[in-house]
Amino acid sequence: MELKTVLFYLFAAVMTFAALRVITARNPVHAVLFLVLAFFNAAGLWMLLQAEFLSIMLIMVYVGAVMVLFLFVVMMLDINIERVRQGFWNNLPLGALVGLLMVGEMAVVLTGRYFGLENLPAHAAPANYSNTKELARVMFTDYVFPFELASVILLVAIIAAVMLTLRQRKDTKSMNPSDQVLIKSRDRVRIVKMAPEIELPAAAPASTKEGE
């Protein structure tokens, strides 16, 4: 068995385990960390497929930025885990049905005769071919509108995450930025003129008795 095949099965097994732990972990922070592990293994699979740009972007963008944002939001929201778990068994049949439908669709796509790798046209890349340049050309020409739409959705998600953390909590202190901007220096610093203190003369030492 080749090393590339061994790495593929290793990355695939760890990514599958991490994906299952994302939805079965009791702690939301642990679920986010398992999702980071799944992204790392997905990046390894893309590296095996010679998609270096996508692999590096997955680590830099998702693991380095998006998942840090997810972890920040999960930790700042202070989610009540017991309350979230309420009604889990009532929604389990619907969730299982949706999961089975997704598995069936993936099976049709991956095992169908119209979607197999052998049906893809042969692509002989020249010596100076750059998949990064080709990806950028397609993204910013044919798919520029979906790309901009995705960026707007991410911006809305960031704003929503920030607004969720600004809710009023018990025993917390906050500042209003607009009030801070309007503050003048004279409202915060007051110079007080005080008269100089008069130094008192030092007390004379007590006289000693004769003979001592």
- 61's tokens: 């963008």
Domain membership of residue 12 (yes or no) is yes
The letter for the amino acid at 122 is A
User: How many structural domains does the chain have?
Assistant: 1
- pTM of the entire predicted model: 0.54
Q: Can you give the CATH number for the domain in which 65 is found?
A: 1.20.120.1200
Please, how many CA atoms are within 13 Å of residue 50, restricted to the half-sphere of its CB? 4
Domain membership of residue 19 (yes or no) is yes
Domain membership of residue 139 (yes or no) is no
Q: Convert the pLDDT of each residue in 69-79 to its tens digit.
A: 777 777 766 66
**Contact present, 165 and 77 (Cβ < 8 Å):** yes
Domain membership of residue 174 (yes or no) is no
Please state, in angstroms and rounded to a whole number, the distance separating the CA atoms of residues 138 and 130. Answer: 13
**What range defines the domain where residue 28 resides?**
1-80
Please state, in angstroms and rounded to a whole number, the distance separating the CA atoms of residues 196 and 201. Answer: 16
Domain membership of residue 124 (yes or no) is no
Q: Convert the pLDDT of each residue in 60-116 to its tens digit.
A: 888 887 777 777 777 766 666 666 666 667 777 888 898 899 888 878 777 765 555
